[in-house]
Structure formats: C-alpha cells, structure tokens
C-alpha cells in the first residue's frame, strides 16, 4: 500500500472552481498544498487519502476559487479621505484635488493607508494587485506588503509635467533613476510577493523622455509598466491638443506599447486604437465602478467584450477609494457584467464565466504571472479563496459561478490563503491589527483634511 505524501495544507471538501484549461469544477474537491505551491487538485475522494497534512481546512459548505487579482488599485493615500469629494465633481477637477491629498501624506500615513487597503483587499478575496502608479513612499509600502502577506506589483509615482505639487514632481532623469533603484532594491522581495513596476501616471502629465525611459527600464529588468490612459474624453482631447494624435496611436509611435504594459481605463478608443491594442499585446485594466462614477461613457463607446473575444487581455480593478469607494472585486465583476449586458441588450456579451476569467486568468496575465497565478492547478502558487456558501446570497446553489458573479459580494469570503499561508479566517485578518488600523486611519484623515483645508460638501443639514 502506498504511503501518504506529506503536505503542509489540505483544503478538503467544497465546490472547487479551478479555472484550469478544461474549466473543471469539482463538486466535492480537495487541494493539497506544499509550502507555497499547489501539489494536486481533484476530487476529495481521490486527493484526500494520498496526503498527510500539517493542517486540514474543512471546506464543506464553501465555494473555493483562485485568489482574485485586481489590475488597478490606488493603495496609499485616498483611503483616509474616502467620501470627501462630491460625486458631481468633474474628473479633471478631481485629479487636481486628489493630488493635494497625496502631497500631504507622510511616510507613516501612506503605509497606514496601504495597510488599510490590503486589509480591505484580503477581506474581500483579492490576493494580488497592480498598484495604479501613485505611491510616493514606496519602501514603506513594500514593508506594509511584507507584513500583510498580500501579493502585488507596485512602483513610484512618476510625472514631470506639471511641476506641482512640488513634493511629487521629479525631472525625467531623476524619476528614471529612482525607479531603477527601487527595482534593484525591492523587486522579488518578501518571497517574491513584491514586484516593482515602472508607473508613469499618464493623463498627459508625462513627457516622451520619461515614458520611453520607464518603458526601457521595464524591458531591461523584465518587469511591467502601468499608467492611466483614455479614460474620460478630455483625457483624449489633451493628447490631441499636445501631440496631434490620439493617445494610443501616439504611444505606439513612441514605442512604449507592448505585452508588459497595462493601461488603465482605456474607455474612449477609436477603431484604430482597438487594433493597436490587439496588435501590440498591450493589456487593459478595466475599472467599471470608476467609469460609472465619473460617467466615462463605458456602456456607450467601450468595446471590451468584443476585444476579449478577439484575444485581448482585460483585467478588472476597483481603482481608488475617492471615486470607486470600495475595493471589492466581486462587486466589480457584477458591475462589469451588468453594464455590458445592458449596453449590448444581450446576456451573451458578458456571461458569468467570462467575467470570472477577467478577475482570475486575465488578471494573472496582466500581472505577468500567468504561469503562477489565476487558476487552481498543480505547480501554481497557492493563492486560494473560500467563500461561505451557507449565506443567503449563495442559496440555492445550483450554479456556483453565476452565484459568485451575480448574487454574492466579497463579504461572504470566509478564508484567504496567499502563498500557502492562511491570512484571513473566520472573519478575521491574521496579519493586520484591524482595530488599530481603523482607529489610526480616522485620525490620519482628519489631519490631512485639516492640512489641505478641504471642507467636505454635504448637501443635507448635519445636526450635532
């Protein structure tokens, strides 16, 4: 008789959505994990007898998925001022105001905001993220990532147009040098959970020299680059006025498009730009909740469903707390599905399976970690989420993918495993002092608002 193999963690029972090449769903499955890698995935009756586990998680009554991956998240300043900007503020004015909050942030406060972000991401099932390119004190964010246990791709806020706020500005040469130093110092740290990317902000705020220099860095060190592009229509008009070309076409002429580039939003594209995305392999971070918040015209002009069908890689992101107002990837899946189903007047535009693939497989491709993330398969890293299917939103449970996309949200997350380590269980984060972080975040928000002089406009009377 064959002796059982030792594994560190066995997740036994539950409905396992593998998202593997055959898209297998095990109605009573099991996952064996050794250190930070998945050893085997299959039926519980086949897998469980083959292993002696250091720890077993009973997943009966749970839906088990790959860790969700967000491809565009602002982690480091907007959390403590969530809700203070009016929901009628135009995006061009919003950008000018929100940068004042970033400029006011101390290194300690930025790390606090990031820790809060990681808490919200983990609690709602996101195990890996791509930062939006707005961290000012990157070393402090790396340290916060290390202690939280989360996985992500981050970089240094980089722009050289305009020169204000002064403490965010760098010349092109200084920004390129800083980014290279960060890559050398932190790329691959914390058991390779930290990847350093180059992060020009976009929005017509980066010179050609800076864009080309940061792309060259990303190529040289085999990492990624991300930026904002073609979100609201004024963003496109800014490029037309400055360069005489639409932004995607202009970036193509500069030579900064490629498979290691993730462009956020990308709502307002013309037909030629769509073809350039498909031809160059550039990837897109789609943020439906922000598009809806600002009124980008997503349902009217975007061709994301058709682009995916033609082979484009389009991941999901929740963007920023001051516009999206939540970082729940499950809600982002629902929003994206509903918007495009209504816009196309057919459910075939965004079925549940297609949206779930955006949050897993497409996210892994965007993060340049497709070989390690995005599905539950032997050899991949052990990033796993267990949803509590006993909650009312999961019942009756006839179609787990449909329930996840159309009925659930991130609050039904029960357990989160990142890199083989349990970081969230029974409603509690095991790596972050939640009570302290929430308390300190309130105080940080009060200080930043006082320093910037911002008065939150509340339309209805507030009586003390």
- Mark whether 341 and 360 lie in a shared domain: yes
Tokens of 304: 């994301």
Domain boundary, last residue among 366, 397, 412: 366
My answer on whether 78 and 62 are in the same domain is no
Q: Do 273 and 153 reside in the same domain of the chain? A: yes
**Domains identified in the chain, total number:** 2
The verdict on residue 460 lying in a domain is no
Considering the domain boundaries, does residue 326 fall inside one?
A: yes
286 located within any domain: yes
Residue 62 and residue 140 in one domain: no
pTM surpassing 0.85?
Answer: yes
* Domain of residue 224, residue span: 68-366
**Is there a single domain that holds both residue 123 and residue 185?**
yes
Together in a domain, 62 and 72: no
59 and 74 in a single domain? The answer is no
**Where does 281-414 have alpha helices with state H?**
288-294, 298-301, 304-309, 329-344, 352-357, 363-366, 400-402
Peptide bond into 311 cis (omega under 30): no
Report yes or no on 459 lying in a domain: no
CATH number at residue 43: 2.30.40.10
Residue 452 located in a structural domain: no
- The HSE-up count of residue 297 (CA atoms within 13 Å, CB side) is 15
Residues 288 and 190 in one domain: yes
12/60 same-domain check = yes
* Same domain, yes or no: 361 and 398: no
Per-residue pLDDT of the chain (464 residues; tens, 9 = 90+): 578 999 999 999 999 999 999 999 999 999 999 999 999 999 999 999 999 999 999 999 999 999 999 999 999 889 999 999 999 998 888 888 998 999 999 999 999 999 999 999 999 999 999 999 888 899 999 999 999 999 999 999 888 888 888 888 899 999 999 999 999 999 999 999 999 999 998 878 889 999 999 999 999 999 999 999 999 898 899 899 989 999 999 999 999 999 999 999 999 999 999 999 999 999 999 999 999 999 999 999 999 999 999 999 999 999 999 998 999 999 999 999 999 999 999 999 999 999 999 999 999 999 999 999 999 999 999 999 999 999 999 999 999 999 999 999 999 999 999 999 999 999 999 999 999 999 999 999 999 999 999 998 899 999 98
* Residue 359 belongs to a domain: yes
From residue 39, how far is each of 17, 63, 190, 353, 415 by CA, in Å? 16, 19, 22, 25, 19
Tokens for 56, please give them: 């077993």
Do 250 and 305 lie in one domain? The reply is: yes
Whether 128 and 369 have beta carbons less than 8 Å apart is answered as yes
């Amino acid at each position: 008789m064959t002796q059982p193999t030792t594994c560190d963690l066995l997740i036994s029972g539950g409905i396992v959505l593998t998202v593997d090449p055959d898209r297998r769903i095990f109605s009573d499955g099991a996952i064996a994990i050794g250190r930070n890698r998945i050893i085997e995935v299959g039926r519980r009756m086949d897998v469980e007898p083959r292993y002696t586990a250091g720890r077993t998680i009973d997943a009966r009554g749970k839906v088990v998925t790959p860790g969700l991956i967000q491809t565009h998240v602002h982690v480091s300043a907007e959390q403590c001022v969530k809700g203070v900007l009016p929901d009628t503020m135009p995006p061009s004015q919003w950008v000018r105001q929100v940068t004042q909050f970033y400029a006011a942030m101390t290194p300690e406060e930025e790390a606090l905001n990031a820790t809060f972000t990681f808490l919200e991401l983990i609690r709602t099932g996101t195990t890996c993220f791509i930062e939006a390119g707005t961290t000012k004190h990157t070393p402090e964010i790396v340290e916060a990532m290390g202690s939280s246990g989360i996985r992500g791709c981050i970089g240094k806020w980089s722009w050289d147009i305009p020169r204000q706020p002064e403490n965010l500005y760098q010349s092109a040469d200084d920004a390129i040098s800083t980014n290279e130093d960060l890559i050398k110092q932190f790329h691959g740290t914390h058991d390779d959970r930290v990847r350093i990317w180059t992060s020009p902000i976009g929005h017509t705020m980066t010179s050609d020299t800076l864009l080309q220099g940061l792309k060259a860095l990303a190529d040289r060190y085999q990492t990624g680059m991300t930026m904002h592009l073609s979100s609201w229509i004024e963003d496109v008009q800014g490029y037309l006025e400055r360069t005489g070309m639409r932004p995607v076409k202009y970036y193509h002429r500069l030579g900064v498009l490629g498979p290691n580039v993730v462009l956020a939003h990308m709502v307002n594209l013309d037909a030629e730009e769509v073809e350039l995305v498909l031809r160059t392999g550039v990837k897109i971070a789609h943020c439906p909740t922000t598009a809806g918040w600002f009124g980008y015209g997503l349902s009217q002009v975007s061709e994301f469903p058709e682009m995916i069908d033609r082979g484009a890689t389009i991941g999901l992101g929740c963007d920023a707390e001051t516009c999206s107002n939540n970082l729940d990837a499950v809600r982002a899946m629902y929003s994206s599905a509903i918007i495009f189903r209504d816009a196309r007047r057919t459910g075939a535009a965004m079925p549940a399976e297609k949206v779930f693939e955006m949050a897993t497989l497409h996210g892994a491709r965007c993060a340049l970690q497709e070989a390690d993330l995005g599905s539950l398969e032997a050899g991949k890293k052990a990033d796993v989420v267990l949803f509590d299917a006993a909650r009312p939103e999961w019942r009756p449970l006839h179609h787990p993918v449909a329930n996840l996309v159309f009925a659930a949200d991130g609050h039904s997350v029960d357990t989160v495993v990142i890199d083989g380590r349990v970081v969230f269980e029974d409603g509690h984060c095991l790596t972050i002092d939640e009570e302290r972080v929430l308390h300190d975040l309130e105080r940080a928000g009060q200080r930043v608002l006082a320093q910037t002089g911002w008065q939150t406009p509340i339309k209805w009377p507030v009586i003390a």
